[in-house]
Structure 1
Amino acid sequence: MCDSILEDIFIKRSQQRRKTSPLNYKERWFILTWDKLCYYDYDADKGKRKGLRGSVDLEKIKCVETVQTEANCPRERIYAFQVIYDEGPLYIFAKTEEVRAQWIKKLKELVQTNKDLMQKYHPCFWIDGTWLCCQQEVKQAMGCKVLNKQNGFAYGRGSYKPLPPTPSEEKSSPWSPPQVPESDKHPSGMKVIAQYNHPAMMSQDLELQKDEEYTVLDTSNPNWWKARDKYGNEGYIPSNYVVTVGNGLDRHDWYCKNTNRSQAEKLLKTENKDGGFMVRDSSKPGKYTVSLFTKGGGDSGGSCKHYNICTTPNGMFYLAEKHNFNTIPELINYHQHNSAGMFSRLKYIVSNRARPPSTAGLGYDMWEIDPSCLTFIRVLGTGQFGVVQHGKWNGQHDVAIKMIKPGAMSEDDFIEEAKVMMMLHHENLVQLYGVCTKTSSIYIVTEFLSNGCLLTYLREGLRQHPTSVQLLEMCKDVSEGMAYLESKQYIHRDLAARNCCVDGNGTVKVTDFGLSRYVLDDEYTSSAGSKFPVRWSPPEVLLYCRFSSKSDIWAYGVLMWEVYTLGKLPYEQLNNNDIVSQVSRGLRLYRPQMACEKVHGIMASCWLDKADERPTFQELAFSVQDLLYELQ
């Protein structure tokens, strides 16, 4: 299997400029791999590829289609196509119709089993705040043209959903569970393999046994699929616990997806076995790295070595140039028996799969939790709403329970919002499992993260002096969680280190997103109050209470500063009144000693006076990823 499927030089249109101009259009070197669509700077004079400018995970693509040409457009922009994902449309211009058709065909083949494919799209461009095809002025507006069922998507992995209404039709919530016609309940018969055990906790659940095969019957709920086991039993399973049959590296325990360098080293050192290894995603998109723990080389405590998996011009994989293989599993199998130039052969698989991922809720269509199923273990702390405890659900599943003190929040409004918040599911968000409303005070039940609050972790939990890479990886986790919220048009309003948590593997997750809207404490909701997060707020919030995704961007810059000062209080010498006055006049936080100029540059970009000049979270995530690659 060749890592690079297609490569070509295309013109790309920037999505960030407010007005469309010739400056929007730049040549980029596009590379399509089995996992990502990446684009790089291109030096036309030297004919060379330069730094990564961005990438799109194939699993996030919702539609690939042509775009109708604008009137009087230049010749080089005739053959346009669009790749639509969470952030909106990516507009690409091919040089010929044949090349465009080739890329669209291949992309559709690769994404036809994605979960959330579209049935309506915009056939024309989004330009200067308007869709040219339907004149809608909201970029996230539903498409106005129905996709042809032969377009390569319609019969993908159970992707059929009823067409949502356009703005001219009856308005409904985009979060409403899709109603799937009975005839389309079993569209695919897709075969999947369980990566984790999952007990049947509720009557509608289907038990999963690791490495067993299942048939998927209904994928209308993106987080809980209906499936059948080999004995004919049917029920609901968490979709992130399974992978499709033949789905590449995901089948192998040694592949640790979403594991960064610091996390890999922590896992390998904890296992402390000579020859312990894993394969992880490289910081360079579309590439893979073998991380190996060895007790050779003169280091008595052992050390970690990282080997990039390289490819030959004809698509063969290798670690040692003399030993080439058609696939990565063949390469790993060889090096499990031969060191071939490495410090050790690959002796022991070290995996991050011992700890299953969180599920979107504790079961299918379950948001109300019976309080009798909860066991309280210990108090974790006290927050704005009340006491937070570590507990168990059904005696086995670790959870965090936030016990809301009477009068602390607008309960009825929150309960309605909780149904929406449970649909938010990302590896860098603390998962909301449900609520208990049949108790004297509301309980909010969430995922439990063993390393607790990020602020406390920075101040007390880091056992050794952290590296710049480790700190930047924490910032990357937060930026990716926030980019997901941004894509869902969700505003956090209180982003700070105290509102992030750290799991046992060191992954940082954002929590309490959107909760500040339901606080009934005047000191918390008014910028004049002593509890208001003044130190994390931009001028437009301090002066006018204007919250937006751009005010979250400002707070993210302050959170980065917290990370690089290991939890210091921002503007520690000033009181709230002084901060409001001086920040509004241009005061900004200083560069932390542990932050290089490029890291501080990212922080500073979050603190621009004009909100619309600040980057998006997607741009921040790319910037942090690029810098991580440089540092490693």
Structure 2
Amino acid sequence: MSECVLEEIFIKRSQQKRKTSPLNYKERWFILTNEKLAYYDFDPEKGKRKGLRGSVDLEKIKCVEIVQPEPNAPQDRIYAFQIVYDEGPLYIFAKSEKVRAQWIKKLKEMVRFNKDLTQKYHPCSWMDGVWLCCQQEVKQAMGCKVLDGKNGFSFKPPGRRVSRKPLPPTPTEETPGRPLPPEPPGPPVSMTVIAQYNYTPVAPQDLELRRDEEYTILDKSDANWWRAKDKYGKEGYIPSNYVVKTEEGLERYEWYCKNVNRSQAEKLLKTENKDGGFMVRDSSKTGKYTVSLFTKSGGEPGGSCRHYNICTSSQNQFYLAEKHNFTTISELINYHQHNAAGMVSRLKHIVSNRARPPSTAGLGYDMWEIDPRDLTFIKELGNGQFGVVQYGKWQGQHDVAIKKIKEGSMSEDDFIDEAKIMMKLCHENLVQLYGVCTKQRPIYIVTEYLSNGCLLVYLREGLKQAPSTVQLLEMCKDVTEGMAYLESKQYIHRDLAARNCLVDSNGTVKVTDFGLSRYVLDDEYTSSAGSKFPVRWSPPEVLLYCKFSSKSDIWAYGVLMWEMYTLGQLPYERLNNTEIVAQVSRGLRLYRPKMANEKVYSIMTSCWLEKAEERPTFEELVLTVQDLLYELQ
């Protein structure tokens, strides 16, 4: 976990409400780290921080400035400041001028090298559809006041001599100056990491990783492949998701299983079948952790699993049993490995999911063109929009899925140009694109292979027993997080549905074929009047005007949730495409599935609001699903 730089209880104004009212202002516990600014629910009576409500990555911040008080503002909303990023301005109200100044200074210092710092800002707030300072009615309108310097921050790099030449005058609104040049980057700082998995080089420029050994990072300019040096002085590229900083905590420990949900934890523990088998996993609430423990002493045949949330005291200490508090989670686990202290058993045997490493962004650094001679075709998996999909091996050892693109089905040149960019999209809930074979026809698309196949088939035929409410919601959460990542990269899927998601051996759902519909050449598919067009997953603005956006993906996600909770039924099964277009445009919506409670159905219906701008974002859906999972568990 990142070290806390500052923390404070502030009043935050909602960014989503269209009209301003007293209900829009709520106390939130803000925590600033080196990577992000996060804010949480706050219990004033117990003085405790609760669930995560949202966060802003520091690298996305464009401006940090004070805000003039709102008209007739009460005393507790006098000292306002704003954080401007892609989503718009985040308005925060400090309790004093001193606290506001401290936070603004620290934030400006931390974001001073950001690429997209703005030159102008709005000194007053956006309220009830208008900027109070300049009366513009477009929320994305450029600021009306020029900042004194780059984001209002004057910085002198250490060791530099200050020029005695007079500074040019600051640009004004009447005589706008040229954009300020970017600040020079600071000196490169090496970082020490520990390998969590072995990695065998597949390209000459790669570096071998040996699990639990330390490496020095030399270059992080590529987010997915870092240049590193081992203890013998050898240099090369390594997958960044195979290592963890030495100073960071839980990833270093065998008992920590990242990206494992409750259902998957129970499966792993029951497969191990050892009394006292345990793991620590991420809770459904971001930033929280859970100890999952298997016991044979509960009287249930075959044993049972118990789940204990790791709590935080008002002194920021961790505990499972209130009388036993610890400074770190590792100290807590060490104690409970020797003492049950209120649990059904002490923690006896570590159960880990570390055997299977995560997918890498490409099979090796800067490898995107794959030699078809390195591919072995083993069996056919299915026949999709673009042609046959087969399971195979790359270089005889790596499992891959290979799509043979049927000639004439795709705008190949456009796709090939895009493939390099798509390969850099790397997330545990996206099917990883490994590379392409473009030197022959048909071309091949090579991706990660997921053994449980298509989600739609898995829902209809692959589940060994009826899924629980928690299991279905965990699968929805997987899709939400993958789509939130795509949303953050300004990627629109355009064809999100259960048929375009896959399931791995652990039951994790991953989104696939994102953006590929742009390259389809079939008129029946690309025209909303065509019989192959995904009408059943499309909102009114797509059906009527072919207007795609992240909000049309939100609509499709609601339909995908419906598919999950009906175990793969066809949406609007009694209607044809023409009837669907007419009736959805008039307000028809899918009914509530029997397996979905009112709260789950309310998530679906929020995705089906007629006005696209009123639908939630995927980032908001992640928080909503997390909160609901937390309630169910």
Is 2:343 the counterpart of 1:345? no
Is 2:314 the counterpart of 1:309? no
1:342-380 superposed Cα distances (whole Å, 9 cap, x missing partner): 222212111222211111112222221111121212111
CA–CA separation in structure 1 for the residues paired with 2:85 and 2:618 = 15
Partner residue, 1:16 = 16
Offset, 1:428: 1.4
CA–CA separation in structure 2 for the residues paired with 1:229 and 1:180 = 32
Amino acid at match of 1:461: G
CA–CA separation in structure 2 for the residues paired with 1:494 and 1:275 = 45
Amino acid at match of 1:55: G
Are residues 345 and 550 of structure 1, via their aligned partners in 2, closer, same or farther at CA, if it must alter by over 3 Å? same
Equivalent runs, 1:266-281 vs 2, <5 Å: 266-281=267-282
Q: Is the 8 A contact 1:479 1:620 kept in 2?
A: yes
Partner residue, 1:288 = 289
Find 2:117's aligned residue among 94, 113, 121: 121
TM-score for both structures, normalised by structure 1: 0.86
Are residues 384 and 566 of structure 1, via their aligned partners in 2, closer, same or farther at CA, if it must alter by over 3 Å? same
Are residues 615 and 438 of structure 1, via their aligned partners in 2, closer, same or farther at CA, if it must alter by over 3 Å? same
SS at match of 1:608: coil
Partner residue, 1:66 = 64
CA–CA separation in structure 2 for the residues paired with 1:508 and 1:564 = 15
**Stretch deviating more after TM superposition (276-285 or 245-254):** 276-285
Amino acid at match of 2:215: Y
Q: Is the 8 A contact 1:379 1:390 kept in 2?
A: yes
Partner residue, 1:163 = none
Partner residue, 1:457 = 458
Are residues 314 and 138 of structure 1, via their aligned partners in 2, closer, same or farther at CA, if it must alter by over 3 Å? closer
Are residues 347 and 108 of structure 1, via their aligned partners in 2, closer, same or farther at CA, if it must alter by over 3 Å? farther
Partner residue, 1:366 = 367
Partner residue, 2:238 = 237
Amino acid at match of 2:67: T
Is 2:96 the counterpart of 1:100? no
Offset, 1:318: 2.1
Are residues 198 and 549 of structure 1, via their aligned partners in 2, closer, same or farther at CA, if it must alter by over 3 Å? same
CA–CA separation in structure 1 for the residues paired with 2:505 and 2:377 = 20
Partner residue, 2:53 = 54
Are residues 374 and 324 of structure 1, via their aligned partners in 2, closer, same or farther at CA, if it must alter by over 3 Å? same
Amino acid at match of 1:187: P
Partner residue, 2:218 = 217
CA–CA separation in structure 1 for the residues paired with 2:46 and 2:335 = 36
SS at match of 1:630: helix
Is 2:201 the counterpart of 1:200? yes
Partner residue, 2:166 = none
Partner residue, 1:597 = 598
Equivalent runs, 1:158-177 vs 2, <5 Å: none
Are residues 55 and 449 of structure 1, via their aligned partners in 2, closer, same or farther at CA, if it must alter by over 3 Å? same
Q: Is the 8 A contact 2:226 2:239 kept in 1?
A: yes
CA–CA separation in structure 2 for the residues paired with 1:136 and 1:232 = 59
Equivalent runs, 1:400-439 vs 2, <5 Å: 400-439=401-440
Partner residue, 1:160 = none
SS at match of 1:66: strand
**Stretch deviating more after TM superposition (554-563 or 446-455):** 446-455
CA–CA separation in structure 1 for the residues paired with 2:442 and 2:183 = 36
Residue ranges of structure 1 left out of the alignment (5+ in a row)? 154-167, 171-178
Are residues 316 and 16 of structure 1, via their aligned partners in 2, closer, same or farther at CA, if it must alter by over 3 Å? closer
Amino acid at match of 1:447: E
CA–CA separation in structure 2 for the residues paired with 1:131 and 1:218 = 45
Percent of aligned positions that are identical: 69
1:367-406 superposed Cα distances (whole Å, 9 cap, x missing partner): 2111112121211111000011112222222211111011
Equivalent runs, 1:495-510 vs 2, <5 Å: 495-510=496-511
Partner residue, 1:630 = 631
Q: Is the 8 A contact 1:224 1:238 kept in 2?
A: yes
**Stretch deviating more after TM superposition (371-380 or 142-151):** 142-151
Partner residue, 1:27 = 26
**Stretch deviating more after TM superposition (28-37 or 307-316):** 28-37
1:45-64 superposed Cα distances (whole Å, 9 cap, x missing partner): x7987974713276x75449
CA–CA separation in structure 1 for the residues paired with 2:499 and 2:192 = 42
CA–CA separation in structure 1 for the residues paired with 2:297 and 2:452 = 31
**Stretch deviating more after TM superposition (564-573 or 69-78):** 69-78
**Stretch deviating more after TM superposition (88-97 or 244-253):** 88-97
Residue ranges of structure 2 left out of the alignment (5+ in a row)? 159-176
CA–CA separation in structure 2 for the residues paired with 1:212 and 1:225 = 16
CA–CA separation in structure 2 for the residues paired with 1:67 and 1:349 = 49
CA–CA separation in structure 2 for the residues paired with 1:211 and 1:120 = 38
Offset, 1:16: 2.6
CA–CA separation in structure 1 for the residues paired with 2:137 and 2:232 = 51
Are residues 432 and 588 of structure 1, via their aligned partners in 2, closer, same or farther at CA, if it must alter by over 3 Å? same
1:127-168 superposed Cα distances (whole Å, 9 cap, x missing partner): 4699999x9989599999746585999xxxxxxxxxxxxxx9
Q: Is the 8 A contact 1:430 1:511 kept in 2?
A: yes
Amino acid at match of 2:551: K
1:521-563 superposed Cα distances (whole Å, 9 cap, x missing partner): 1111112221111111112212221211111111111000000
Q: State the Cα RMSD in Å.
A: 3.6
Q: Is the 8 A contact 1:29 1:49 kept in 2?
A: no
Q: Is the 8 A contact 1:4 1:31 kept in 2?
A: no
Amino acid at match of 1:91: Y
**Stretch deviating more after TM superposition (386-395 or 8-17):** 8-17
SS at match of 1:591: coil
Q: Is the 8 A contact 1:608 1:614 kept in 2?
A: yes
1:64-114 superposed Cα distances (whole Å, 9 cap, x missing partner): 9631424866465554445577756543222223323555677799x89xx
Are residues 345 and 83 of structure 1, via their aligned partners in 2, closer, same or farther at CA, if it must alter by over 3 Å? farther
CA–CA separation in structure 2 for the residues paired with 1:490 and 1:392 = 29
SS at match of 1:509: strand
Are residues 581 and 62 of structure 1, via their aligned partners in 2, closer, same or farther at CA, if it must alter by over 3 Å? closer
Offset, 1:39: 3.6
Partner residue, 2:168 = none
CA–CA separation in structure 1 for the residues paired with 2:91 and 2:566 = 40
Offset, 1:630: 1.4
Q: Is the 8 A contact 1:120 1:146 kept in 2?
A: no
Q: Decide which structure has the larger Cα Rg and report it.
A: 2
Are residues 401 and 6 of structure 1, via their aligned partners in 2, closer, same or farther at CA, if it must alter by over 3 Å? same
Are residues 354 and 54 of structure 1, via their aligned partners in 2, closer, same or farther at CA, if it must alter by over 3 Å? same
SS at match of 2:11: strand
Amino acid at match of 2:114: M
SS at match of 2:542: helix
CA–CA separation in structure 2 for the residues paired with 1:275 and 1:248 = 23
Partner residue, 2:480 = 479
Q: Is the 8 A contact 1:2 1:315 kept in 2?
A: no
Q: Is the 8 A contact 1:108 1:152 kept in 2?
A: no
Amino acid at match of 2:615: R
Offset, 1:565: 0.4
CA–CA separation in structure 2 for the residues paired with 1:53 and 1:614 = 21
Amino acid at match of 1:96: S
SS at match of 2:492: coil
CA–CA separation in structure 1 for the residues paired with 2:92 and 2:194 = 35
SS at match of 2:457: helix
